[in-house]
């Protein structure tokens, strides 16, 4: 689902990086970062004024305006939960953050906190906040996804999307050196083809901008 990176990966590639569209994350100069363990990239420290540490889903009314119809009842079966994810992805693709959050809230209500699908939930929430340009909240959501993925030893495409999403936040904060670590970690986790191409594109931009 990748477009050119004026529309960020899955948010046309990070749900393949998300399944919506994000503005171009312009690359600029960055501060250096200490080397990290190759097997695990720790989330960056929270920014001042970051969102609450609670795991409660964000309230839709904290996001930009959008239609807010009542949620129809949905089964707790895997198919019912997947329906909420699909609708959330659709709203993310339309940059309708409020409706996307409502669908994600319904998903979280139906899942155990340690369910592997909660990694996907936190990743999607991070993507919604990234659309809203709320980088502190986006990074917090991605950090929760990273922690949970480590706790339950989950790997694969969803976790790759988490690391790629965190990398995008850091690119937008002009912290390219740290972003590279997350992008490389994403590539090590067998990402989807769309995420892989988007991440490789970001790395090429960073490497190109750092040449004399």
Per-residue pLDDT tens over the stretch 146-180: 999 999 999 999 999 999 999 999 999 999 999 99
Average pLDDT value for the chain: 75
CA distance 123 to 145: 6
Helix (H, G, I), strand (E, B) or coil at 112: coil
Tell me if the pTM is above 0.75. Answer: no
Domain 14-25+53-209 maps to which CATH number in 1.10.3720.10, 1.25.40.10, 3.40.50.720, 3.50.50.60?
Answer: 1.25.40.10
Distance linking the first and last C-alpha atoms of the chain: 33
Contact 175, 33 (CB under 8 A): yes
What is the percentage of the chain residues whose pLDDT exceeds 70? 61
- What is the pLDDT at residue 33? 37
Strand partners, 14: 17
Mean pLDDT on 185-197: 96
Residues 25-72: tens digit of each pLDDT: 322 222 333 333 334 565 665 555 544 444 444 554 455 444 444 444
- Could you identify the residue written with the tokens 């795991």? 55
Q: Is the pLDDT of residue 14 over 80?
A: no
Contact 130, 165 (CB under 8 A): yes
Residue 3 has pLDDT above 80, yes or no: no
Please choose, from the candidates 6, 10, 7, 34, the residue with its C-alpha nearest in 3D space to the C-alpha of residue 191.
10
Query: What are the tokens at 90?
Result: 């659709």
Say which residues have a Cβ less than 8 Å from residue 198's Cβ, sequence separation at least 6.
Answer: 2, 5, 8, 9, 10, 13, 14, 17, 164
């Amino acid at each position: 689902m990748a477009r050119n990176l004026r529309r960020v990966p899955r948010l046309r590639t990070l749900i393949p990086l998300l399944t919506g569209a994000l503005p171009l994350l312009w690359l600029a100069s960055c501060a250096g970062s200490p080397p990290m363990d190759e097997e695990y990239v720790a989330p960056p420290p929270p920014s001042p004024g970051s969102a609450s540490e609670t795991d409660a889903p964000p309230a839709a009314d904290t996001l930009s305006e959008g239609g807010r119809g009542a949620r129809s009842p949905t089964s707790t079966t895997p198919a019912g939960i997947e329906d909420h994810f699909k609708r959330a992805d659709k709203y993310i693709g339309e940059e309708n953050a409020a409706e996307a959050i409502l669908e994600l809230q319904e998903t979280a209500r139906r899942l155990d906190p340690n369910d592997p699908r909660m990694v996907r939930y936190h990743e999607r929430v991070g993507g919604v906040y990234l659309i809203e340009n709320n980088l502190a909240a986006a990074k917090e959501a991605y950090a929760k996804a990273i922690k949970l993925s480590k706790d339950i030893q989950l790997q694969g495409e969803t976790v790759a999307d988490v690391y790629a999403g965190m990398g995008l936040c850091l690119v937008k904060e002009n912290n390219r050196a740290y972003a590279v670590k997350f992008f490389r970690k994403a590539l090590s986790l067998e990402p989807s083809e769309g995420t892989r191409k988007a991440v490789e594109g970001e790395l090429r931009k960073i490497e190109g901008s750092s040449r004399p």
